[in-house]
Every structure is written in C-alpha cells, then in structure tokens.
Amino acid sequence: MTQKFDNRQKVAPGDTVFEGDTAEAGNGVYEDGEKLRSRYAGIVRYQEETVSVRPSNGRYVPQEGDIVIGEVKAVRYSSWMVDLNSPYEGMMKVDGAVDEYIDLDEDELTEYYDVGDAIVVKVSSVSEGFDVNLTMDDRRCRTLESGRIEEIPPTKVSALIGKGGNIIRELKEATDTSMIAGQNGRVWIQGGDHVEAAEAVKNIGEVADRPHLMKSAEDLMEADSNG
C-alpha cells in the first residue's frame, strides 16, 4: 500500500504509480490487480485518495484542482460552457459560479458571464467520461477584464512557473506586469512592459527543452534578444 513516486514526478507508460487498495485510479491511470499503472508518459499526481497522470505531450487534459484560463463559449439555462484549450469543454453551473441567489426564470445569466468572457476558473471534478465541471470558488478565480492572453504548450507551464514559482515571479518583477499561468497553457499578462513579458513567455518552448539554459526569468528574456 505505497506511493511509488514523488508527487509530480515523471513516469513512463506502464509504470506502477501505486500499489495497494487505498487509492483509486484517476485520469491517465488504470488498474492492474492491486497495482495502479500509468497510461502515459507524463507527470504523476497524488491527490487525497486518487492517483492521476497528466500526459507530457499533446493537448491539455483537465484534472481536478487545476487552475485554468477559459473562454465562455455558450450560455445555457443554468450553466456556462467554457473552452479550456482542450478536446474537452468545461461546464460551470450557477451554484459554482455565483454566490448570490439567481432566479433562473427572471435573471439573465449573461449579466454575470457572457460569451467571449475570459475567466480564471478551477476544475472541480472530471468524470471517467471526461465531463468537466468548473467552479469560481477559489480566491484565484476571477473574470479577466483587460490584458492579453498568450498560449504555450501546456506541458511547458511548470517550466514557466519554476520551482516554488521563482521563474514567473522574477518575470513579473522584471517587466512590472501581473501574470497568471493556467495549467491549460494560457497565460494572462497585464500592465508594465507586457510586450517584453509576452515575448519571454513565448520563448518557454525553446528554452524549457534545454534545462541547462533555464535558470531564471532572465534566461527567457535573453533568449528573445538573442533570437
């Protein structure tokens, strides 16, 4: 009954990520007797009683607890459908989006979130069939009224954030910007020298593939000036 890797460590397809009957297989994990094995080459994540693996390549696959940047694509009777830069759309229901009481027969949901709105939102749950539920019930979640959004490969987000958040923190300080990096590869930038910040963010794909060059935010900015 043991965890076989450190949290967020790289794993290969078929690796045993947990052994025993005290954890359940989440996204990217399958059962093999009393063992839980990875379906992908990716990053293993241990969360409460669930073990999941995020693929290292390809498009973003939502996982419970992720903070992402989404775009409202449709407004329904009691929910909003949100594009997540993923093959899977997210649904944000009224009770997970608004604190106040809403009369669905009288109130217009577009007064709260409308088509085209960019939002920082949390993945609250993902079913086996990849029905993705979203919530705004997190201090980091909000509507993005201004600024710009850049996209990078979702697999490079952890490199942009850096160990303990050091890379993105240094980049914000160097460019005097506000910045939010969603796990789905969308990065919001506002204020300061947002042009330089955006160019540095775009360099993450090249620099992150050469870890020996990626020690600080300055490396991202120099990659742009040297390019």
Q: Please, what is the angle between helix 194-202 and helix 166-175, to 10°?
A: 150
For residue 208, the tally of other CB atoms under 10 A from its CB is 21
Task: Tell me the sheet residues that pair with 86.
Answer: none
User: If 0-12 CB within 10 Å is exposed, 13-18 middle and 19+ buried, where does residue 11 land?
Assistant: buried
For residue 125, the tally of other CB atoms under 10 A from its CB is 13
Rounded to 10 degrees, the C-alpha dihedral 118/80/24/46 comes to 20
Domains in the chain, number: 3
Q: Tell me, what CATH number does 88's domain have?
A: 2.40.50.140
- Whether residue 193 is found in the same domain as residue 124: no
What is the distance of C-alpha 81 from the center of its chain?
A: 17
Say what the pLDDT of residue 205 is: 63
Mean pLDDT of 8-25: 89
Asked if residue 194 is part of any domain, the answer here is yes
Q: Are strands 50-55 and 42-47 parallel, antiparallel or unpaired?
A: antiparallel
The sheet that has 16-19: what strands, in order across it?
Answer: 2-3, 16-19, 35-38, 29-32
Give the chain's mean pLDDT. 87
Same domain, 183 and 198: yes
pLDDT score for 194: 95
Chain-centroid distance, C-alpha 4:
24
Q: For position 48, which CATH number holds?
A: 2.40.50.100
Decide if 106 is inside a domain: yes
The answer to the question of residue 61 being in a domain is no
pLDDT tens-digit readout, 165-218: 888 999 999 999 999 999 999 999 999 999 999 999 988 866 655 544 455 566
**pLDDT score at 42:** 83
Burial 58-78 (b: 16+ CB within 10 A, else e): eebbbbbbbbbbbbbeebeee
Q: Are residues 136 and 154 in the same domain?
A: no
Q: How far apart are CA 40 and CA 111, in angstroms?
A: 41
For 93, the enclosing helix (H) or strand (E) is strand 90-93
- d(CA 106, CA 153) in angstroms, rounded, equals 42
- Cα distance between residue 83 and residue 151, in whole Å: 13
Tell which of 124, 143, 162 closes a domain: 143
pLDDT digit string (tens) for 77-94?
999 999 999 989 999 999
- Determine the pLDDT at residue 10: 85
pLDDT the model gives residue 190: 96
In a domain, 60, yes or no: no
Q: Are residues 154 and 132 in the same domain?
A: no
Residues 79 and 26 in one domain: no
Q: Identify whether residues 126 and 152 lie together within a single domain.
A: no
Which of 83, 108, 143 is the endpoint of a domain?
A: 143
Residue 44: give the domain boundaries: 2-55
What value does the CA radius of gyration of the chain take, rounded to a whole number of Å? 19
User: Does one domain contain both 177 and 136?
Assistant: no
pLDDT in tens, 145-159: 999 999 998 888 888
CATH value at residue 198: 3.30.1370.10
Are residue 209 and residue 164 in the same domain, yes or no?
A: yes
